[in-house]
Amino acid sequence: MFFGGGSIQLARIFGIRIGVDASWFLVLFLIIWQLSGWYQDLFPGNDGKAFTLAVVSALLFFLTILLHELGHAVVAIRNGIPILGIDLWLFGGVAKLGRDTDSAGVEFRVAVAGPLVTLAVGAACFLVGSALSSSDTVLHGSRFEDVDMGGTVAVLSYLTTVNFFVLAFNLIPGFPLDGGRIARAIAWKVTGDRNRATRFAALLGRLAGWGMVAFGAAIFALGWDTFSGIWLIFIGIFLAQAARSAVAQAEFSDRIDHLRVRDVMDAEPVAIPDQLPLDRAEGEYFLRYGWPWFPVVDAGGRLVGVVSREAVESVPDTIRGGRPTASVMARDDGGNALRAGLEDPLEALLSHEGLGRLGAVMAVDGDGVLRGIVTIDAVRRALRGALPA
């Protein structure tokens, strides 16, 4: 799946921010707790081994979820869609796209990429497990019913089962699941109308969500599996609400679709040259304007970083005259942390890392030359202007 969310950053892979939401720790604990019981049935009298296998299985499961989301992310980037990050959370994974897809073909390619990765991972686990034992053991081992297997095969059996379950679940044709995105792409191709296709896919999402709620309630009421029943009810409610929200988000996105970064930026940015001595930077910029930070540019006007007042003041007065501003600035790595392109859609700024960190994003042209600054207040004004009267 891919929609919004917040997280604690863990790492960057291929320049993509990877993080975990606080809810991820809860579901990690629940999975380990549940798997520990299953592995204890498989390896009775060896609680240490059961717990170790449970932890390994849970972490590998989330690694496969991360690979699924990276599948979405890589294809999105190849189709010109920026990725703001990937989060692991309560319901699995989230690939946050910087903007919506702009054609049915791109929508289909991005949506199908994750399930294809999950299919490949599940197949790989099945093949390796079958080579170590047998296909029958791998396919039925997750039931842990009188099956004789080692720890490695047990983990591969679990990963095979859970990945094929994730694949089947994600292919449910209900927005915003991957299957719903695929259905949206098909409806978009047929009708030529993204909004109409979104409403259709969202309707499928609401039907799928409330269907899950009904099925989960039945499982719970009949006492078949209390945990799974409650979990299905929880997921179903979330899916139904997410589908409803997706329609409103899509309609709002259409209203701001014509707005670009250049339309909302301050086209006269104040920037500090990277070789300007710190004492002059302090007097001519920080004391003069009273702002807490400034963008830093090189001799060609290209954005190279951002410098804060605290960074300047951290250098002793006696040596500020001999230190260039570049020596204390936070360097821009050319990614999405500080900058946005002039022709980037306004929608891409809504979850931009720079707005959260600095309250602004630097607008640059194709050569990286600083052309403007977009503040969070400017974004808010533009969004308010797009709201229906």
Q: Any long-range contacts for 92-95 (C-beta under 8 Å, 24+ apart)?
A: 92/1, 92/65, 92/68, 92/166, 93/1, 93/62, 93/65, 93/66, 93/68, 93/69, 94/1, 94/2, 94/3, 94/4, 94/5, 94/69, 95/1, 95/2, 95/69, 95/70
pLDDT computed for residue 84 by the predictor: 78
pLDDT score, position 40: 85
User: Collapsing DSSP states into helix, strand and coil, what is residue 15?
Assistant: coil
Split at pLDDT 50, 70, 90, the class of 279 is: very high
Within the chain, what is the greatest distance between any pair of CA atoms?
78
pLDDT at 144 over 60: no
pLDDT surpasses 80 at 347 = no
Q: What is the pLDDT of residues 186-202, one digit of tens each?
A: 999 999 988 889 889 98
CA angle 110, 112, 117 (to 5 degrees): 105
Is residue 302 predicted with pLDDT exceeding 90? yes
Which stretches of the chain are assigned E, i.e. beta strand? 8-13, 16-20, 83-89, 92-97, 272-273, 293-297, 303-308, 330-331, 339-341, 360-364, 370-375
In this predicted structure, the answer to whether residue 5 has a pLDDT above a threshold of 50 is no
Stretch 264-279: mean pLDDT, rounded?
94
- Residue 147 scores a pLDDT above 60: no
DSSP state of 92: E
Angle at 373 between CA 267 and CA 4, to 5 degrees: 135
- Which range, of 139-148, 190-199, 339-348, averages the lowest pLDDT? 139-148
pLDDT in the model for residue 44: 81
- Confidence band for 139, pLDDT divided at 50, 70 and 90: confident
Whether the upstream peptide bond of residue 316 has omega within 30° of 0, thus cis, is: no
DSSP character for 324?
B
Bridge partners (DSSP) listed for residue 375: 360
Question: For the chain, what percent of residues have pLDDT higher than 90?
Answer: 44
In the chain, % helix, strand, coil (3-state, to 5) comes to: 60, 15, 25
Beta bridge partners of 95: 86
pTM of the model: 0.68
Domains along the sequence of the chain with CATH:
8-255 (no CATH), 261-386 (3.10.580.10)
| The pLDDT of residue 142 is above 60 | no
For range 342-346, the mean pLDDT = 84
pLDDT at 292: 93
The better pLDDT of the pair 133, 2 is held by 133
Q: How confident is the model at residue 179 (pLDDT cuts 50, 70, 90)?
A: very high
